[in-house]
Amino acid sequence: MNYRMILSLLGDVLLVIGAFLLLPCIVAVIYGEPELWVLLATAAGSGLLGGLFILLRPKRRRELHARDGFVMVALSWILISLVGAIPFTVSGAIPSYLDAVFETMSGFTTTGASILRAVEDLPKCLLFWRSFTHWLGGMGVLVFMLAIVPLSGESIYLLRAESPGPSVSKMVPKMRTSAAILYAIYCAMTLLQILFYRLGVLFGWGEMTWFDSLCLAFGTAGTGGFSVRNSGLADYSAYLQAVTTVFMVLFGVNFSVYFFLLRRRFRLAWHNSEVRWYFIIIFGAIVLISANLLLTGGFFPTVFQTIHHVAFSVGSVITTTGFGTADFAKWPEFSKTVLLILMAIGACAGSTGGGIKVSRVLILAKTARAETRHLLHPHSVEVMTMDGKRVSSEVIRGTMAFFICYAAIAVVSILLVSLDNFGAETSVTSVFATLNNIGPGLSLEVGPFGSYANFSALSKVVLTLDMLLGRLELFPVLLLLSPATWRKH
Protein backbone atom coordinates (compact mmCIF):
# COMPACT_ATOMS: atom_id res chain seq x y z
CA MET A 1 0.00 0.00 0.00
CA ASN A 2 1.09 3.58 -0.63
CA TYR A 3 1.12 4.66 3.03
CA ARG A 4 2.69 8.08 2.51
CA MET A 5 0.19 8.99 -0.19
CA ILE A 6 -2.70 7.87 2.03
CA LEU A 7 -1.41 9.99 4.95
CA SER A 8 -0.91 13.02 2.72
CA LEU A 9 -4.47 12.72 1.41
CA LEU A 10 -5.71 12.45 4.99
CA GLY A 11 -3.89 15.76 5.48
CA ASP A 12 -5.98 17.27 2.67
CA VAL A 13 -9.12 16.00 4.41
CA LEU A 14 -8.02 17.58 7.70
CA LEU A 15 -7.44 20.89 5.94
CA VAL A 16 -10.93 20.72 4.42
CA ILE A 17 -12.54 19.97 7.81
CA GLY A 18 -10.50 22.74 9.45
CA ALA A 19 -11.72 25.21 6.83
CA PHE A 20 -15.36 24.15 7.23
CA LEU A 21 -15.09 24.52 11.03
CA LEU A 22 -14.77 28.25 10.38
CA LEU A 23 -18.43 28.40 9.25
CA PRO A 24 -19.88 27.70 12.74
CA CYS A 25 -17.35 30.28 13.98
CA ILE A 26 -19.25 32.89 11.96
CA VAL A 27 -22.50 31.74 13.62
CA ALA A 28 -20.82 32.01 17.04
CA VAL A 29 -19.80 35.61 16.24
CA ILE A 30 -23.34 36.50 15.10
CA TYR A 31 -24.92 35.14 18.27
CA GLY A 32 -22.07 36.18 20.58
CA GLU A 33 -21.38 32.65 21.83
CA PRO A 34 -18.19 31.77 23.79
CA GLU A 35 -17.85 28.44 21.95
CA LEU A 36 -16.16 30.48 19.21
CA TRP A 37 -12.73 29.86 20.76
CA VAL A 38 -13.25 26.11 20.95
CA LEU A 39 -14.21 26.02 17.28
CA LEU A 40 -11.26 28.20 16.27
CA ALA A 41 -8.83 26.05 18.24
CA THR A 42 -10.21 22.86 16.70
CA ALA A 43 -10.02 24.36 13.20
CA ALA A 44 -6.43 25.48 13.79
CA GLY A 45 -5.41 22.09 15.20
CA SER A 46 -7.01 20.26 12.31
CA GLY A 47 -5.28 22.53 9.80
CA LEU A 48 -1.89 22.18 11.51
CA LEU A 49 -2.09 18.39 11.67
CA GLY A 50 -3.26 18.31 8.07
CA GLY A 51 -0.30 20.41 7.00
CA LEU A 52 2.11 18.02 8.72
CA PHE A 53 0.52 15.05 6.95
CA ILE A 54 0.76 16.80 3.58
CA LEU A 55 4.52 17.18 4.06
CA LEU A 56 4.70 13.39 3.82
CA ARG A 57 3.39 13.41 0.24
CA PRO A 58 5.82 11.44 -1.92
CA LYS A 59 7.48 13.18 -4.85
CA ARG A 60 7.12 10.00 -6.85
CA ARG A 61 4.63 7.13 -6.81
CA ARG A 62 1.54 9.23 -6.21
CA GLU A 63 -0.87 6.75 -7.74
CA LEU A 64 -3.71 5.18 -5.76
CA HIS A 65 -4.93 1.66 -6.37
CA ALA A 66 -8.22 0.08 -5.36
CA ARG A 67 -7.08 -1.11 -1.94
CA ASP A 68 -5.43 2.25 -1.16
CA GLY A 69 -8.57 4.13 -2.14
CA PHE A 70 -10.92 2.03 -0.04
CA VAL A 71 -8.69 2.19 3.05
CA MET A 72 -8.13 5.92 2.64
CA VAL A 73 -11.88 6.57 2.43
CA ALA A 74 -12.62 4.54 5.58
CA LEU A 75 -9.83 6.27 7.52
CA SER A 76 -11.05 9.67 6.34
CA TRP A 77 -14.56 9.15 7.70
CA ILE A 78 -13.23 7.95 11.05
CA LEU A 79 -10.81 10.88 11.25
CA ILE A 80 -13.37 13.58 10.44
CA SER A 81 -15.75 12.17 13.04
CA LEU A 82 -13.05 12.15 15.71
CA VAL A 83 -12.08 15.75 14.88
CA GLY A 84 -15.64 16.97 14.40
CA ALA A 85 -16.64 15.68 17.84
CA ILE A 86 -14.01 17.74 19.69
CA PRO A 87 -15.99 21.03 19.89
CA PHE A 88 -18.98 19.26 21.46
CA THR A 89 -16.92 17.72 24.26
CA VAL A 90 -14.49 20.59 24.94
CA SER A 91 -17.37 23.09 25.12
CA GLY A 92 -19.23 20.82 27.56
CA ALA A 93 -22.28 20.54 25.29
CA ILE A 94 -21.79 16.75 25.13
CA PRO A 95 -19.48 15.87 28.06
CA SER A 96 -18.83 12.27 26.98
CA TYR A 97 -16.43 12.05 24.03
CA LEU A 98 -17.96 8.69 23.04
CA ASP A 99 -21.39 10.35 22.86
CA ALA A 100 -19.90 13.23 20.88
CA VAL A 101 -18.30 10.82 18.39
CA PHE A 102 -21.65 8.97 18.10
CA GLU A 103 -23.41 12.29 17.37
CA THR A 104 -20.77 13.45 14.91
CA MET A 105 -20.53 10.11 13.10
CA SER A 106 -24.32 10.20 12.90
CA GLY A 107 -24.01 13.64 11.31
CA PHE A 108 -21.30 12.90 8.76
CA THR A 109 -22.85 9.56 7.76
CA THR A 110 -26.22 11.38 7.45
CA THR A 111 -27.81 8.93 9.88
CA GLY A 112 -29.53 11.38 12.22
CA ALA A 113 -29.51 9.13 15.29
CA SER A 114 -28.98 11.32 18.34
CA ILE A 115 -28.01 10.89 21.98
CA LEU A 116 -29.41 14.35 22.80
CA ARG A 117 -32.68 14.61 24.67
CA ALA A 118 -33.05 18.37 24.18
CA VAL A 119 -31.31 19.69 21.04
CA GLU A 120 -32.48 23.25 21.71
CA ASP A 121 -30.11 23.39 24.70
CA LEU A 122 -27.11 23.42 22.36
CA PRO A 123 -25.53 26.76 21.36
CA LYS A 124 -26.50 27.94 17.88
CA CYS A 125 -22.97 27.50 16.52
CA LEU A 126 -22.86 23.84 17.57
CA LEU A 127 -26.38 23.26 16.24
CA PHE A 128 -25.19 24.71 12.95
CA TRP A 129 -22.08 22.48 12.91
CA ARG A 130 -24.21 19.46 13.81
CA SER A 131 -26.51 20.08 10.82
CA PHE A 132 -23.67 21.07 8.49
CA THR A 133 -22.01 17.69 9.01
CA HIS A 134 -25.08 16.26 7.22
CA TRP A 135 -24.56 18.49 4.22
CA LEU A 136 -20.86 17.76 4.01
CA GLY A 137 -21.34 14.02 4.47
CA GLY A 138 -24.29 13.77 2.09
CA MET A 139 -22.32 14.06 -1.12
CA GLY A 140 -19.12 12.92 0.56
CA VAL A 141 -16.02 14.64 1.87
CA LEU A 142 -13.85 12.87 -0.69
CA VAL A 143 -16.10 13.89 -3.57
CA PHE A 144 -15.66 17.50 -2.45
CA MET A 145 -11.91 16.99 -2.21
CA LEU A 146 -11.79 15.44 -5.68
CA ALA A 147 -13.52 18.55 -7.00
CA ILE A 148 -10.78 20.86 -5.67
CA VAL A 149 -7.62 18.71 -5.41
CA PRO A 150 -6.04 17.41 -8.64
CA LEU A 151 -5.21 13.72 -8.27
CA SER A 152 -4.03 10.95 -10.54
CA GLY A 153 -6.31 9.00 -12.85
CA GLU A 154 -6.76 6.40 -10.12
CA SER A 155 -9.00 8.80 -8.16
CA ILE A 156 -12.01 6.87 -9.46
CA TYR A 157 -11.31 4.46 -6.59
CA LEU A 158 -12.02 7.23 -4.06
CA LEU A 159 -15.33 8.05 -5.71
CA ARG A 160 -16.23 4.36 -6.03
CA ALA A 161 -15.48 3.71 -2.35
CA GLU A 162 -17.49 6.68 -1.12
CA SER A 163 -20.44 6.77 -3.52
CA PRO A 164 -23.46 4.59 -2.73
CA GLY A 165 -24.72 1.96 -5.14
CA PRO A 166 -23.64 -1.22 -6.93
CA SER A 167 -21.49 0.59 -9.50
CA VAL A 168 -19.98 4.02 -10.06
CA SER A 169 -18.82 5.58 -13.31
CA LYS A 170 -17.62 8.95 -14.49
CA MET A 171 -20.23 11.28 -15.96
CA VAL A 172 -17.55 13.01 -18.03
CA PRO A 173 -14.03 11.83 -18.93
CA LYS A 174 -12.25 13.86 -16.22
CA MET A 175 -12.77 12.63 -12.67
CA ARG A 176 -12.32 16.08 -11.18
CA THR A 177 -14.95 17.51 -13.52
CA SER A 178 -17.41 14.75 -12.56
CA ALA A 179 -16.96 15.56 -8.87
CA ALA A 180 -17.39 19.28 -9.54
CA ILE A 181 -20.62 18.64 -11.49
CA LEU A 182 -21.99 16.53 -8.62
CA TYR A 183 -21.30 19.26 -6.09
CA ALA A 184 -22.67 22.00 -8.36
CA ILE A 185 -25.99 20.12 -8.65
CA TYR A 186 -25.95 19.46 -4.89
CA CYS A 187 -25.34 23.13 -4.03
CA ALA A 188 -27.96 24.36 -6.51
CA MET A 189 -30.65 22.06 -5.09
CA THR A 190 -29.77 23.10 -1.52
CA LEU A 191 -30.07 26.77 -2.42
CA LEU A 192 -33.35 26.09 -4.23
CA GLN A 193 -34.80 24.49 -1.09
CA ILE A 194 -33.74 27.48 1.02
CA LEU A 195 -35.39 29.75 -1.56
CA PHE A 196 -38.70 27.87 -1.29
CA TYR A 197 -38.52 28.10 2.50
CA ARG A 198 -37.97 31.87 2.33
CA LEU A 199 -40.76 32.34 -0.24
CA GLY A 200 -43.14 30.59 2.15
CA VAL A 201 -42.13 32.96 4.93
CA LEU A 202 -42.43 35.97 2.58
CA PHE A 203 -45.98 35.07 1.52
CA GLY A 204 -47.07 34.22 5.05
CA TRP A 205 -47.32 30.44 4.54
CA GLY A 206 -45.30 29.67 7.64
CA GLU A 207 -42.71 30.96 10.09
CA MET A 208 -39.07 29.90 9.85
CA THR A 209 -35.89 31.78 10.75
CA TRP A 210 -32.93 32.01 8.41
CA PHE A 211 -30.99 29.83 10.85
CA ASP A 212 -33.66 27.11 10.75
CA SER A 213 -33.86 27.38 6.95
CA LEU A 214 -30.14 26.72 6.57
CA CYS A 215 -29.98 23.89 9.09
CA LEU A 216 -33.05 22.07 7.76
CA ALA A 217 -31.86 22.46 4.17
CA PHE A 218 -28.51 20.93 5.18
CA GLY A 219 -30.33 18.04 6.85
CA THR A 220 -32.61 17.49 3.84
CA ALA A 221 -29.87 17.73 1.22
CA GLY A 222 -27.72 15.22 3.05
CA THR A 223 -30.83 13.15 3.87
CA GLY A 224 -29.64 13.28 7.47
CA GLY A 225 -32.51 14.38 9.66
CA PHE A 226 -30.95 16.42 12.48
CA SER A 227 -33.51 19.03 13.47
CA VAL A 228 -32.93 22.19 15.50
CA ARG A 229 -36.12 21.75 17.54
CA ASN A 230 -37.07 19.10 20.06
CA SER A 231 -40.35 18.62 18.18
CA GLY A 232 -38.60 17.89 14.87
CA LEU A 233 -40.61 19.52 12.07
CA ALA A 234 -43.98 19.11 13.78
CA ASP A 235 -44.24 22.81 14.71
CA TYR A 236 -43.67 24.16 11.21
CA SER A 237 -46.51 24.94 8.79
CA ALA A 238 -47.94 22.44 6.32
CA TYR A 239 -46.30 24.37 3.45
CA LEU A 240 -42.82 24.19 4.97
CA GLN A 241 -43.31 20.50 5.72
CA ALA A 242 -44.47 19.91 2.13
CA VAL A 243 -41.38 21.65 0.75
CA THR A 244 -39.24 19.38 2.91
CA THR A 245 -41.15 16.32 1.67
CA VAL A 246 -40.55 17.21 -1.98
CA PHE A 247 -36.85 17.91 -1.53
CA MET A 248 -36.27 14.78 0.58
CA VAL A 249 -37.63 12.73 -2.31
CA LEU A 250 -35.62 14.71 -4.89
CA PHE A 251 -32.36 14.22 -2.99
CA GLY A 252 -33.09 10.48 -2.99
CA VAL A 253 -32.90 10.38 -6.81
CA ASN A 254 -29.71 9.31 -8.58
CA PHE A 255 -27.82 12.53 -9.32
CA SER A 256 -26.82 11.29 -12.77
CA VAL A 257 -30.50 11.74 -13.73
CA TYR A 258 -30.21 15.47 -12.98
CA PHE A 259 -27.05 15.57 -15.08
CA PHE A 260 -28.96 13.98 -17.98
CA LEU A 261 -31.75 16.54 -17.55
CA LEU A 262 -29.26 19.41 -17.61
CA ARG A 263 -27.75 17.99 -20.81
CA ARG A 264 -31.30 17.66 -22.24
CA ARG A 265 -30.93 13.92 -22.53
CA PHE A 266 -34.51 13.44 -21.38
CA ARG A 267 -34.83 9.95 -22.83
CA LEU A 268 -32.02 8.60 -20.62
CA ALA A 269 -33.56 10.23 -17.54
CA TRP A 270 -37.08 9.00 -18.32
CA HIS A 271 -36.05 5.40 -18.96
CA ASN A 272 -34.07 4.99 -15.73
CA SER A 273 -35.77 1.92 -14.23
CA GLU A 274 -34.39 2.52 -10.73
CA VAL A 275 -35.93 5.98 -10.53
CA ARG A 276 -39.25 4.72 -11.92
CA TRP A 277 -39.43 1.98 -9.27
CA TYR A 278 -38.32 4.46 -6.61
CA PHE A 279 -41.39 6.60 -7.26
CA ILE A 280 -43.66 3.56 -7.64
CA ILE A 281 -42.55 2.31 -4.22
CA ILE A 282 -43.12 5.75 -2.66
CA PHE A 283 -46.60 6.07 -4.15
CA GLY A 284 -47.55 2.51 -3.17
CA ALA A 285 -46.34 2.99 0.41
CA ILE A 286 -48.30 6.24 0.78
CA VAL A 287 -51.49 4.52 -0.43
CA LEU A 288 -51.04 1.49 1.86
CA ILE A 289 -50.18 3.42 5.01
CA SER A 290 -52.83 6.11 4.44
CA ALA A 291 -55.50 3.44 3.98
CA ASN A 292 -54.32 1.64 7.11
CA LEU A 293 -54.43 4.82 9.22
CA LEU A 294 -57.81 5.90 7.86
CA LEU A 295 -59.36 2.48 8.45
CA THR A 296 -57.85 2.26 11.93
CA GLY A 297 -58.92 5.83 12.75
CA GLY A 298 -57.95 8.28 15.45
CA PHE A 299 -54.56 9.41 14.13
CA PHE A 300 -55.33 12.56 12.10
CA PRO A 301 -58.52 14.66 11.90
CA THR A 302 -58.84 14.76 8.09
CA VAL A 303 -57.94 12.72 5.01
CA PHE A 304 -55.71 15.57 3.77
CA GLN A 305 -53.71 15.66 7.01
CA THR A 306 -53.37 11.88 6.93
CA ILE A 307 -51.96 11.88 3.39
CA HIS A 308 -49.79 14.91 4.18
CA HIS A 309 -48.11 13.33 7.22
CA VAL A 310 -47.88 9.89 5.61
CA ALA A 311 -46.22 11.34 2.50
CA PHE A 312 -43.74 13.19 4.72
CA SER A 313 -42.96 10.05 6.75
CA VAL A 314 -42.63 7.82 3.68
CA GLY A 315 -40.31 10.35 2.02
CA SER A 316 -38.32 10.68 5.22
CA VAL A 317 -37.93 6.92 5.72
CA ILE A 318 -37.21 5.72 2.17
CA THR A 319 -34.64 8.48 1.64
CA THR A 320 -33.27 7.67 5.13
CA THR A 321 -33.58 11.33 6.13
CA GLY A 322 -35.31 10.65 9.43
CA PHE A 323 -37.19 13.93 9.91
CA GLY A 324 -40.53 13.62 11.68
CA THR A 325 -43.80 15.52 11.78
CA ALA A 326 -45.66 12.68 13.49
CA ASP A 327 -44.53 9.87 15.76
CA PHE A 328 -44.82 6.91 13.40
CA ALA A 329 -43.59 4.65 16.21
CA LYS A 330 -47.20 4.86 17.52
CA TRP A 331 -48.80 3.86 14.22
CA PRO A 332 -50.43 0.42 13.63
CA GLU A 333 -48.13 -2.56 13.10
CA PHE A 334 -48.99 -2.80 9.39
CA SER A 335 -47.88 0.77 8.78
CA LYS A 336 -44.70 0.26 10.79
CA THR A 337 -43.94 -2.91 8.83
CA VAL A 338 -44.24 -1.01 5.55
CA LEU A 339 -41.88 1.65 6.95
CA LEU A 340 -39.43 -1.07 8.04
CA ILE A 341 -39.36 -2.40 4.46
CA LEU A 342 -38.75 1.13 3.17
CA MET A 343 -35.88 1.49 5.66
CA ALA A 344 -34.18 -1.53 4.17
CA ILE A 345 -34.79 -0.57 0.52
CA GLY A 346 -33.59 3.01 0.84
CA ALA A 347 -33.15 5.53 -1.95
CA CYS A 348 -31.49 5.36 -5.37
CA ALA A 349 -27.84 4.60 -5.98
CA GLY A 350 -25.83 7.74 -6.60
CA SER A 351 -28.08 9.83 -4.31
CA THR A 352 -27.42 11.16 -0.83
CA GLY A 353 -29.83 8.58 0.65
CA GLY A 354 -28.86 5.41 2.48
CA GLY A 355 -30.30 1.90 2.65
CA ILE A 356 -29.64 -1.11 0.42
CA LYS A 357 -30.64 0.95 -2.65
CA VAL A 358 -33.46 0.37 -5.13
CA SER A 359 -31.00 -0.72 -7.83
CA ARG A 360 -29.68 -3.57 -5.68
CA VAL A 361 -33.21 -4.72 -4.92
CA LEU A 362 -33.97 -4.71 -8.66
CA ILE A 363 -30.80 -6.70 -9.41
CA LEU A 364 -31.69 -9.21 -6.71
CA ALA A 365 -35.24 -9.56 -8.08
CA LYS A 366 -33.97 -10.01 -11.64
CA THR A 367 -31.42 -12.59 -10.46
CA ALA A 368 -34.14 -14.55 -8.64
CA ARG A 369 -36.32 -14.47 -11.75
CA ALA A 370 -33.46 -15.62 -13.97
CA GLU A 371 -32.59 -18.50 -11.65
CA THR A 372 -36.25 -19.57 -11.48
CA ARG A 373 -36.52 -19.60 -15.28
CA HIS A 374 -33.28 -21.56 -15.49
CA LEU A 375 -34.70 -24.20 -13.15
CA LEU A 376 -37.81 -24.51 -15.32
CA HIS A 377 -35.89 -24.32 -18.60
CA PRO A 378 -32.33 -25.58 -17.95
CA HIS A 379 -31.13 -24.98 -21.51
CA SER A 380 -32.30 -21.38 -21.69
CA VAL A 381 -29.81 -18.54 -21.33
CA GLU A 382 -31.01 -15.17 -20.04
CA VAL A 383 -28.92 -12.02 -20.19
CA MET A 384 -29.80 -9.66 -17.35
CA THR A 385 -30.25 -6.04 -18.44
CA MET A 386 -31.16 -2.74 -16.81
CA ASP A 387 -32.03 0.35 -18.83
CA GLY A 388 -31.06 -1.47 -22.02
CA LYS A 389 -27.55 -2.31 -20.77
CA ARG A 390 -26.22 -5.69 -19.77
CA VAL A 391 -25.62 -6.09 -16.03
CA SER A 392 -22.11 -7.48 -15.67
CA SER A 393 -21.36 -10.57 -13.64
CA GLU A 394 -19.10 -8.38 -11.48
CA VAL A 395 -22.05 -6.19 -10.46
CA ILE A 396 -24.26 -9.23 -9.78
CA ARG A 397 -21.52 -10.87 -7.72
CA GLY A 398 -20.91 -7.65 -5.79
CA THR A 399 -24.62 -7.28 -5.09
CA MET A 400 -24.91 -10.81 -3.74
CA ALA A 401 -21.80 -10.33 -1.59
CA PHE A 402 -23.27 -7.08 -0.26
CA PHE A 403 -26.50 -8.79 0.79
CA ILE A 404 -24.65 -11.60 2.53
CA CYS A 405 -22.35 -9.20 4.44
CA TYR A 406 -25.27 -6.89 5.20
CA ALA A 407 -27.31 -9.74 6.73
CA ALA A 408 -24.35 -11.06 8.74
CA ILE A 409 -23.49 -7.63 10.17
CA ALA A 410 -27.15 -6.94 11.01
CA VAL A 411 -27.47 -10.23 12.90
CA VAL A 412 -24.28 -9.69 14.91
CA SER A 413 -25.22 -6.08 15.70
CA ILE A 414 -28.73 -7.05 16.84
CA LEU A 415 -27.30 -9.70 19.16
CA LEU A 416 -24.86 -7.21 20.73
CA VAL A 417 -27.42 -4.41 21.10
CA SER A 418 -29.95 -6.84 22.61
CA LEU A 419 -27.65 -7.11 25.64
CA ASP A 420 -29.18 -3.78 26.74
CA ASN A 421 -32.54 -5.58 27.24
CA PHE A 422 -34.62 -2.90 25.55
CA GLY A 423 -36.82 -5.40 23.75
CA ALA A 424 -36.72 -6.95 20.30
CA GLU A 425 -38.40 -4.06 18.49
CA THR A 426 -35.91 -1.53 19.84
CA SER A 427 -32.88 -3.78 19.22
CA VAL A 428 -33.86 -4.68 15.67
CA THR A 429 -35.01 -1.26 14.51
CA SER A 430 -32.09 0.59 16.13
CA VAL A 431 -29.69 -1.57 14.10
CA PHE A 432 -31.80 -1.13 10.94
CA ALA A 433 -31.93 2.61 11.60
CA THR A 434 -28.15 2.98 11.94
CA LEU A 435 -27.01 0.41 9.38
CA ASN A 436 -29.34 2.02 6.80
CA ASN A 437 -28.41 5.55 7.94
CA ILE A 438 -31.94 6.61 8.75
CA GLY A 439 -31.59 7.43 12.47
CA PRO A 440 -35.00 6.96 14.09
CA GLY A 441 -36.28 3.42 14.62
CA LEU A 442 -39.83 2.19 15.07
CA SER A 443 -40.04 1.81 18.85
CA LEU A 444 -40.89 4.49 21.39
CA GLU A 445 -37.30 4.53 22.70
CA VAL A 446 -35.70 5.27 19.33
CA GLY A 447 -38.66 6.65 17.35
CA PRO A 448 -38.58 10.00 15.49
CA PHE A 449 -38.80 11.86 18.81
CA GLY A 450 -36.71 9.38 20.80
CA SER A 451 -33.02 9.28 21.77
CA TYR A 452 -30.16 6.80 21.96
CA ALA A 453 -28.96 8.34 25.24
CA ASN A 454 -29.87 5.31 27.37
CA PHE A 455 -27.92 2.80 25.29
CA SER A 456 -24.80 1.28 26.85
CA ALA A 457 -21.28 2.18 25.73
CA LEU A 458 -21.01 -1.15 23.90
CA SER A 459 -24.23 -0.54 21.96
CA LYS A 460 -23.14 3.00 21.07
CA VAL A 461 -19.83 1.68 19.70
CA VAL A 462 -21.64 -1.04 17.70
CA LEU A 463 -24.20 1.41 16.30
CA THR A 464 -21.49 3.98 15.50
CA LEU A 465 -19.65 1.33 13.49
CA ASP A 466 -22.94 0.36 11.82
CA MET A 467 -23.43 3.97 10.72
CA LEU A 468 -20.00 3.97 9.08
CA LEU A 469 -20.58 0.55 7.50
CA GLY A 470 -23.93 1.74 6.14
CA ARG A 471 -22.61 5.00 4.70
CA LEU A 472 -19.57 3.42 3.04
CA GLU A 473 -21.58 0.32 2.11
CA LEU A 474 -19.54 -2.22 4.10
CA PHE A 475 -16.51 -2.97 1.95
CA PRO A 476 -14.14 -0.03 2.69
CA VAL A 477 -14.60 -0.56 6.43
CA LEU A 478 -14.30 -4.36 6.20
CA LEU A 479 -11.13 -3.92 4.16
CA LEU A 480 -9.77 -1.50 6.78
CA LEU A 481 -10.44 -4.05 9.56
CA SER A 482 -8.90 -6.95 7.64
CA PRO A 483 -5.36 -7.98 8.75
CA ALA A 484 -4.64 -8.95 5.14
CA THR A 485 -4.94 -5.30 4.13
CA TRP A 486 -1.94 -4.30 6.20
CA ARG A 487 0.17 -7.35 5.38
CA LYS A 488 3.03 -6.79 2.96
CA HIS A 489 2.51 -8.44 -0.42
- What is the rounded CA–CA span in Å between residue 266 and residue 249? 19
How high is the pLDDT of residue 223?
A: 92
Q: Enumerate residues 6+ apart whose C-beta is below 8 A from 449.
A: 230, 231, 232, 324, 327, 440
Q: Phi and psi for 252 in degrees, rounded to 5?
A: -90, 0
How high is the pLDDT of residue 397?
A: 83
10 in Cβ contact with 76 (< 8 Å): yes
For residue 5, CA distances in Å to 82, 151, 252 come to 21, 11, 33
How high is the pLDDT of residue 388?
A: 73
In the chain, the amino acid numbered 398 is G
Q: Phi and psi for 203 in degrees, rounded to 5?
A: -90, 5
Q: What is the pLDDT along the chain (489 residues), one digit of tens a residue?
A: 777 888 888 998 899 899 999 999 999 999 999 999 999 999 999 999 999 998 888 777 666 666 777 788 888 889 999 999 999 999 999 999 999 999 999 999 999 999 998 999 999 999 999 999 999 988 876 666 665 555 554 455 555 555 555 654 545 545 667 777 888 899 999 999 999 999 999 999 999 999 999 999 999 999 998 999 998 999 999 999 999 999 999 999 988 889 888 888 877 777 788 899 999 999 999 999 999 999 998 889 999 999 999 999 999 999 999 999 999 989 999 999 999 999 999 999 888 888 889 988 998 888 888 888 878 888 777 777 777 778 778 788 888 888 888 899 999 999 999 999 998 999 999 999 999 999 888 888 888 888 899 999 999 999 999 998 888 877 666 666 666 655 654
441 in Cβ contact with 430 (< 8 Å): yes
- What is the rounded CA–CA span in Å between residue 312 and residue 123? 28
For residue 33, CA distances in Å to 24, 25, 26, 27, 29 come to 10, 9, 10, 8, 7
In the chain, the amino acid numbered 99 is D
| Number of separate helices (H) and strands (E) present in the chain | 23, 2
Q: Phi and psi for 386 in degrees, rounded to 5?
A: -140, 130
Q: Phi and psi for 348 in degrees, rounded to 5?
A: -85, 155
How high is the pLDDT of residue 173?
A: 45
How high is the pLDDT of residue 201?
A: 96
For residue 57, CA distances in Å to 6, 18, 60, 233 come to 8, 19, 9, 46
CA angle 450, 451, 453 (to 5 degrees): 155
Q: Give the helix/strand (H/E) hosting 468.
A: helix 457-471
